Amino acid sequence: MIATLTGKVSEQINETIVLNVHGVGYGLLVSADDWGKLSVGTEATVYIYEHIREQSHDLFGFISRNTKELFEKLLSVNGVGPKMALAILSVGSMQDVQQAISSGDVKLLQSAPGVGKKVAERVVVDLKDKVGRIASTSAIAFLNQPSYTKLDDAHEALLALGYSLQDAAHALESVDSSLPLDEKIRQALKVRA
């Protein structure tokens, strides 16, 4: 089994790159996002997914291990093969695809060639809880503030209502902290709606 390959990109043809590793050119199918990040003549380390069938031996390459893991999660969905999973990853960046799955954006997933409404809905249903929600950078910054050392009552109330820690922080970051507790919660609930 091939886990990674390191070499020089010698060609880019359609959605394929040729990675020259000590004189051997490996043809790797890559997502549109990764294809745009690689250029002929540059050195690259690529994570590999091998798909072996009777008539073919395909190698799929990923610049990021996280992208490869998302690809493998897509493969776990009934009706999604490697080329369809790669097409789904090609509709945007890895974060765009994760966000589409976690938010139920079936239309974005359907924009991938060969992906119909039923398959896109199945991807959302099967993977929504597995890909997680992408935290906004402002919510992460809010959680990392020195003054944010313990949860206040508004955060506790939102957590009790089923919010995740990130979602509660995101909802409360634009709410005036001097407001009474019930008003803070009311304003935060509007952010999520």
53-84 pLDDT per residue, tens: 888 899 999 999 999 999 999 999 999 999 99
How confident is the model at residue 132, as a pLDDT? 60
The gap between the terminal CA atoms of the chain, to the nearest Å, is 47
What is the per-residue pLDDT across 37-46, written as a single tens digit (0 to 9) for each? Answer: 999 999 999 9
What does CATH list as the number for 66-131?
A: 1.10.150.20
pTM above 0.75, yes or no: no
- CATH class of the domain defined by 4-62: mainly beta
Residues of the chain with CATH 2.40.50.140: 4-62
In angstroms, the Cα distances linking 79 to 70, 76, 119 are 16, 9, 7
pLDDT < 70: residue spans in the chain: 132-151, 165, 192-193
Buried-state track 24-50, b at ≥16 Cβ within 10 A, e below 16: eebebbbbebbbeebeeeeebebbbbe
- Domain limits, CATH 1.10.150.20, in the chain: 66-131
